[in-house]
Structure 1
Amino acid sequence: MIDRTDQLPEAARESEVRSYSREWPVQFAHARGARVQDVQGRSYLDFFAGAGTLNYGHNPPALKEALLSYVAGDGITHSLDLFTAARTELLTALQQHVLTPRGLDYRVMFPGPTGTNSVEAALKLARKVTGRSSVVAFTGAFHGMSLGSLSVTGSESKRAGAGVPLAGVHRMPYDGFAGGTVNGPALLDAMLRSGNSGLDRPAAVIVETVQGEGGVNVASPEWLAELSDVCRRHDMLLIVDDVQMGCGRTGPFFSFETAGIVPDIVCLSKALSGYGLPMSLTLFRSELDVWEPGEHNGTFRGHNLAFVTAAAALRSYWRDNALENWTAHRAGHVEERLREVALRHEGLGARVRGRGLVWGLEFRDPELARRVGRAAFTRGLLVETSGARDEVLKLLPPLTVSDAELDEGLEIVAESVTAAAKDRAPQEARTS
């Protein structure tokens, strides 16, 4: 696609670092549910959902009503870590609808507005609790763009932007890496048992149950359970980064629930506010709360507008199992449709993987995945690519997407793959 964003007035002032606006060179103006509209009035079906931030769609009515009422009543907006009514309301809703039903005894920390803030706090806490400095992370991981989070991220291109050495991390193979020839938890266990491996006992292991940015790589429940056992056996803390996969993206509120494990520390952000407002939490077992007052802080750790919508989201969507069950039901439908597409295009090396309502369609040729994404945009569907080479078309529809919208989006994906494959064939013929 030709980058036409230089024709937009804001492009003259913005840094070249912008990325999504290059793939979707239009000005968006309005949004509701699973659809967004540009200034020209064209509607797009959104299977990007703010990179997993808008799990409940754009402007969900119950959350919008709560937010407008709070603002109209001159509610506190900024509060650092002062007690506010909005803060108490959120903590109450979190305890009632999430922690208590799952039997989780977690302390709640407000580390700042974004996912990387939560990860930084988790890493810092793990090192403080254990007195050890190194951390185990996995191939294909993405944990954020600040230095600590980058150190445990796998992407070569993203790590290169740090400009300084990223030390203190041992890398292990994720589930399925190198064709699944190496079992990461078993390897870690063997190295820690060896006494001759050169691997000092780490403070923690950080993992995503599904690697979204890494290419929708899915860890099996058995693999995650084995990893949890290894952490417990060697007195290492288990950190689950649920920034993108939490808040119902894979079905349950926490993505690790299907594995039957209880992490020591959990990182949440993205869909947590339910409304696209910046917010993150770091949850951890009560006995790990060794912080001194003010030892870790941030100016925007008290974003009350996000507290209001987050509490409304928990009350609206997590008072029962309806959303979780509905997501699980739709997961089977999405998988079936995508496998049909992959089967029709076996020659492209298309492969399907995912869980809940996060799915990836991988292609042997990364350029083909990008072509499919561009073809989808011209047909009115927003969908991004992921993976080390952008070889995976990643689908993240809102959890509240209607059946008709879901089928519409999947049909556009199918049409876009066919169109991209046809466009590719003549080009290959010309270069052969």
Structure 2
Amino acid sequence: MSTENIADTTIYTRRESEARSYCRSFDTVFTSASGSEMTDSKGETYIDFLAGCSSLNYGHNDPDMKAALIDHISRDGMSHALDLHTDAKSQFLEAFERLILKPRDMDYKVMMTGPTGTNAVEAAMKLARKVTGRRNIIAFTNAFHGMTMGALSLTGNSSKRGGAGGGLLADVTHMPYDGAFGEGVDTLAQIEMMLSNGSSGIDAPAAFIVEPVQGEGGLNAASTEWMQGIARLAKEHGALLIVDDIQAGCGRTGTFFSFEKMGIEPDLIPMAKSFSGMGLPFAALLIKPKHDIWKPAEHNGTFRGNTHAFVTARVAIEKFWADDTFQQMLGEKAMMLTSGLQAIAEEVPGASLKGRGLMQGIDVGSGELASEICARAFEMGLIIETSGAEDEVVKVLAPLTTPNQLFRKGLDILLDATRATVAGHRLAAQ
């Protein structure tokens, strides 16, 4: 493509759907990326604190994953195989079993679904209903589980639900997440009361589906006690426990699974985002063997299992999770992030920190203010986005592999952007 064609951005407004979103915040044409940096057609380089919305936990174009994929393609390795047996799939499954499941004493079947997280959630919903013979699923306030109709019925955000155009989003009961009504309000007790009340109007649930950290919902992080309570309620009421680890998994909260230290055993675990290691589409549903009651092809899809993603996912597991070195580094980097965000929060009256691990952000109390901070940060060379019901949280999702010096530089840019934005608001108020 010629430089002139790259510079002509009218093609996007002329031909791309109005559904496009991220490009509206970052109005430039990106041409390359490496590690934690992205470069546009003008030669400007940006630090990436978005990481494909946690799809690039290991950074852009990891050299070892890239080399393995190039080798696979160069030798005419399978590019598409439906659910046929392939060398790439067996090597991925073996690595996943040996380095992820067995060290954590976890026994799960791996179901290859369609290529995105919402496909894994849809499969979990279907299987929970099939196993229990029930329809109702308990989801939570501020939840986000996907944009297809089933997953959307679990999602709390009204603007996203509005995209259904009046379509039926049914058979779901929304309950308050941990802390949804502020400190001092025990939402677990409220949920328990509603479920035990025969006149509450709540049908017996097939499943509870929960995110240990709500990524799109504003980085709300559930306590261990609350998660254990939800697991207990699911068991008491004969329901399956679905833990959606699509955004919070693959190291984002400090461990491979976000719930590892909570003492719970989910029945079903939807995975996607960074599961491929390199940003390639790959989603899967982890299933406790006793619940794997599918008949052949009862849930399928043309792109169930991305062979290229099997290659890169195996490398990611073997490179980063063969021992505890990477996990220890995540803990150190999380402390650096917390410290940096605390300094930034001090610049905004009433601001507070949200999330945990390397899935943290600052609630600045206003979607308008958060968006202005992110826009100013982009002008300064940092890509960062918002989350929350009103987009009020400035959300850091930097690649987990970001070098410390670059990580600090990104946090410094965010601090400068916050100071400048707050100062501008003060001047305007005078």
Coarse TM-score class (shorter-chain normalised): over 0.9
Question: Which ranges in structure 2 are unaligned for 5 or more consecutive residues?
Answer: 1-6
- How far 1:11 sits from its partner (Å)? 2.9
Match of 1:305 in 2: 308
CA-CA distance at 1:403 after TM superposition? 0.7
Write the letter of the residue equivalent to 1:227: I
**2:261 maps to which of 258, 271, 274:** 258
| Correspondence for 1:57 | 59
CA distance in 2, matches of 1:182, 1:172: 13
Q: TM-score, normalised by structure 1?
A: 0.96
CA-to-aligned-CA distance 1:366-422 (integer Å, 9 cap, x gap): 211001000100110000011111111000011101110111011111101001112
Instruction: Give me the whole-angstrom Cα distance separating, in 1, the residues matched to 2:358 and 2:401.
Output: 10
Decide which of 28, 36, 39 is 1:26's aligned counterpart: 28
Q: Structure 1: which amino acid aligns with 2:123?
A: A
Pick aligned residue for 2:175 from 162, 172, 176: 172
Answer whether contact 1:6 1:12 (CA < 8 A) is retained: no
Matched-pair contact (CA < 8 Å) for 1:58–1:275: yes
8 A contact 1:251–1:328 mirrored in 2: yes
Which residue does the alignment assign to 1:419? Answer: 420
What is the letter of the counterpart of residue 87 of structure 1? K
1-structure distance, mates of 2:110, 2:364: 41
The answer to whether structure 1 residue 392 and structure 2 residue 379 are counterparts is no
Deviation track 1:187-223 (CA, whole Å, cap 9, x = no partner) reads 2222222323222210000000000100111111111
Aligned partners of 2:112 and 2:284 also within 8 Å? yes
Matched residue, 2:284? 281
Q: Separation in 1 of the partners of 2:188 and 2:203? A: 16
> How far, CA to CA, are the matches of 1:6 and 1:372 in structure 2?
28
Q: Which residue of 2 aligns with 1:377?
A: 378
Separation (CA, whole Å) in 1 of partners of 2:18 and 2:172:
31
Structure 1 residues 28-427: aligned runs within 5 Å: 28-163=30-165, 164-345=167-348, 347=349, 349-427=350-428
1:304-349 Cα shifts (integer Å, max 9, x gaps): 001110111111111111111111111112111211221233x2x2
Q: Which amino acid in structure 2 is aligned with residue 9 of structure 1?
A: I
Could you tell me how far apart the structure 2 residues matched to 1:353 and 1:259 are?
A: 19
SS of residue matched to 1:424: helix
Name the CA distance, whole Å, in 2 between partners of 1:242 and 1:87.
21
- Output the CA distance in 1 between the equivalents of 2:169 and 2:12: 35
CA offsets per residue over residues 78-108 of structure 1, 9 Å max, x none? 1111111111111111101111111111011
> 2:28 is paired with a residue of what secondary structure?
coil
Structure-2 separation of matches of 1:31 and 1:366: 29
Give me the whole-angstrom Cα distance separating, in 1, the residues matched to 2:27 and 2:77.
37
- Alpha carbons of 1:61 and 1:421: their partners in 2 closer, same or farther (altered >3 Å)? same
Q: Is the 8 A contact 1:185 1:230 kept in 2?
A: no
Q: Distance in 1 between matches of 2:305 and 2:289?
A: 21
Q: Displacement of 1:165 after TM fit?
A: 2.5
Deviates more, 1:11-20 or 1:292-301: 11-20
Opposite residue 141 of structure 2, the aligned amino acid is T
Larger mean Cα displacement after TM superposition, 176-185 or 75-84: 176-185
Residue 170 of structure 1: CA displacement? Answer: 0.8
CA distance in 2, matches of 1:143, 1:381: 27
Q: Deviations over 1:237-285 (max 9, x none)?
A: 1000100011110011000112121100000000000111000010010
Q: Secondary structure at the match of 2:16?
A: coil
Consecutive unaligned residues of structure 1, counting only runs of 5 or more, are none
User: Per the alignment, in what secondary structure is the counterpart of residue 31 of structure 2?
Assistant: strand
Whether contact under 8 Å (1:173, 1:183) holds in the other structure is no
Residues 51-82 of structure 1: CA deviation (Å, up to 9, x unaligned): 00000000011101110000001000111111
Check the 8 A contact 1:217/1:353 in 2, yes or no. yes
Distance 2:187 2:87 in 1: 45
- Deviation of 1:6 (Å): 8.5
Answer yes or no: is the 8 Å Cα contact 1:175–1:223 preserved in 2.
Answer: yes
Calculate the TM-score normalised by the size of structure 2: 0.96
The DSSP-based 3-state class of the residue aligned with 1:203 is strand
For residues 255 and 144 of structure 2, the distance between their equivalents in structure 1, rounded to whole angstroms, comes to 21
- Tell me how far apart the structure 1 counterparts of residues 356 and 335 of structure 2 sit (CA, whole Å): 9
Q: Which moved more, 1:330-339 or 1:7-16?
A: 7-16
Aligned residues of 1:122 and 1:267 also touching (Cα < 8 A): yes
Cα offset for 1:426?
3.0
Count of aligned residue pairs for this structure pair = 423
Aligned with 1:81: secondary structure? coil
Question: What's the secondary structure of 1:377's corresponding residue?
Answer: helix
Q: Which segment is superposed worse, 193-202 or 413-422?
A: 193-202
